[in-house]
Amino acid sequence: MDEQTKFQYMTTAPIGRLIGRMAVPTVISMLITSIYNMADTFFVGLLDNTSATGAVGVVFSFMAIIQACAFLFGQGSGNVISRLLGQQRHAEAERMASIGFYSALLVGGCITVLGLIFLDPLARFLGSTETILPYARQYLGIILLGAPWMIGALVLNNQLRFQGSAFYGMIGIGCGGLLNIVLDPVFIFGFNMGVVGAAAATAISQGVSFVLLLFGTTRKENLRVRPRLFRPRRADFSEILRGGFPSLCRQGLASLSTICLNYMAGQFGNDAAIAAMAIATRITHLAFSALLGFGQGFQPVCGFNFGAGLYGRVKKAFWFCVRLGTVLLLAASVAGFVFAPTLVGLFSSDPAVLPKAALTLRLHCVAFPLLAWTTMCTMLTQTIGRVGAASFLSMARQGLFFIPFVLGLPLVFLYFCEGVAPLLGVQLAQPLADGATALVAIPVCVRVMRKYLPEKSDCPKSKKP
């Protein structure tokens, strides 16, 4: 559809159908992005090497750093793009897309160079024990080489989504994900490359996604990323930072929290405890990725309609997503709680790992449905440009609550709760953090909606000259 037709569709189509059309491709994209690392965990787990499985879990926190940079530029530029398109300012939207994309590529190159220079210290910082370090070094080295196109692919996926072209993003990410699943067993077992093969499969697959997504920008209805438009101004980076900082906080703190998790699991357990945390985290991350994809399907609808002044549609879309997301997460939580031993058994056969991973997964499931509310609150505040509220909500779950809980609860159990294993404090940290975040999100979101989404007649804003 052309620019004007897309604008009319985004601002007039029934909310349920519109959210569905935007959300389904983004849910699939986010699930496949999560499967990249989950596939590595699964196939490396077949090696019957707990240290190798732990290495994949350790490097997962670095993958979160790469995603954090990608979401900073992808969602930062994407939020601006959706509002500009809602105001029908196509040329300015295309310039912002180019600035966000090429800035991300430069950052990806810097990550590669610095990461390879400081490879061993980085692997230790991420939580590697002495037995995990050799495998983490091998896996991380390959991932670092692919950092630029990993970041580039995620930026393009986000920008296409904010334009209302999530289908092209799904195709690019989906093809790469399927290729990763095929290449993992070929490289790991067929070529006997072990954990190096898992990393190579991931890097190559994301490179394919990058090429396909770049091609998707050449479609007539999509914004092109043109090198000649890469003339950033300070104000452009300010806008990207405003729109992307909450995502940077969310993903960056997710990485830091995983590092803290690995450290505390190692302190009060062993490689089996680290592997157990990695497996449980991977499973819940898969479901959380689906929720993020659903929220990201809401964002272009929110951005277009907020830019057009259709505040009633913004609120209607928000509550639709909260209700449906809660129901879906509740179903996923029940399934995860009931089938926890079976699910964790897919990733390890080590009897020292399985009970720890199953208990961790069940504890996560208790508070998991609350994430629908907190995630949609964050998406709403971020998309309408309320960077302070969005950043606070993004930092609350993994930063304000999880990190203190995971560092403090094991010590409380160790010194004040005789007979209680300190590792239980590590396992309880995430569900407690989820509950606390849901509570603090209530006043923040209510205030933002009252102040920035006033009750008024829905009349589209006229096109700016």
Cα separation of the two ends of the chain: 23
Contact assessment for residue 300 and residue 79, using Cβ atoms and an 8 Å cutoff? no
Give the lowest-confidence range in 37-41, 167-171, 175-179, 235-239.
37-41
Nearest to 409, CA basis, from 394, 437, 429, 381: 429
Token code pair at residue 458: 């829905």
Whether the per-residue pLDDT at 369 is higher than 80: the answer is yes
Beta-carbon neighbour count of residue 273 at 10 Å? 25
Whether the per-residue pLDDT at 465 is higher than 50: the answer is no
Instruction: Identify which of 27-41, 338-352, 427-441 has the greatest average pLDDT.
Output: 427-441
User: What distances in angstroms separate CA 79 from CA 6, 160, 161, 316, one per listed residue?
Assistant: 17, 11, 10, 19
Residue with structure tokens 């985290």? Answer: 281
Q: Determine if the pTM surpasses 0.75.
A: no
Taking the alpha carbons of 36, 41, 47, 51 in that order, is the dihedral positive or negative?
positive
The answer to the question of residue 458 being in a domain is no
Contact assessment for residue 154 and residue 215, using Cβ atoms and an 8 Å cutoff? no
* pLDDT tens digits, 399-429: 899 999 999 999 999 998 887 889 999 999 9
Confidence of residue 74 (pLDDT cuts 50, 70, 90): very high
Q: Give the DSSP H/E element, type plus range, for residue 218.
A: none
Beta-carbon neighbour count of residue 318 at 10 Å? 22
- Mean pLDDT along residues 344-373: 92
In angstroms, rounded to a whole number, what is the distance separating the alpha carbons of residues 265 and 261?
A: 6
The answer to the question of residue 284 being in a domain is yes
- Mean pLDDT along residues 8-14: 89
Amino acid at 445: C
In angstroms, rounded to a whole number, what is the distance separating the alpha carbons of residues 118 and 103?
A: 23
- Mean pLDDT along residues 334-354: 91
Token code pair at residue 108: 């990806």
3-state secondary structure 445-462: HHHHHHHHCCCCCCCCCC
The answer to the question of residue 457 being in a domain is no
| Helix/strand/coil for 431 | helix
Whether the per-residue pLDDT at 30 is higher than 80: the answer is no
Beta-carbon neighbour count of residue 461 at 10 Å? 12
For residue 236, what are the domain limits? 3-452
In angstroms, rounded to a whole number, what is the distance separating the alpha carbons of residues 318 and 378?
A: 11
Residue 1, pLDDT score: 59
Burial (CB count within 10 angstroms: exposed 0-12, middle 13-18, buried 19+), residue 304: buried
User: What distances in angstroms separate CA 448 from CA 171, 177, 378, 383, 445, one per listed residue?
Assistant: 35, 37, 11, 12, 5
The answer to the question of residue 459 being in a domain is no
Q: In this structure, what DSSP letter does residue 399 have?
A: I
Q: How many domains does the chain have?
A: 1
Mean pLDDT of the chain: 88
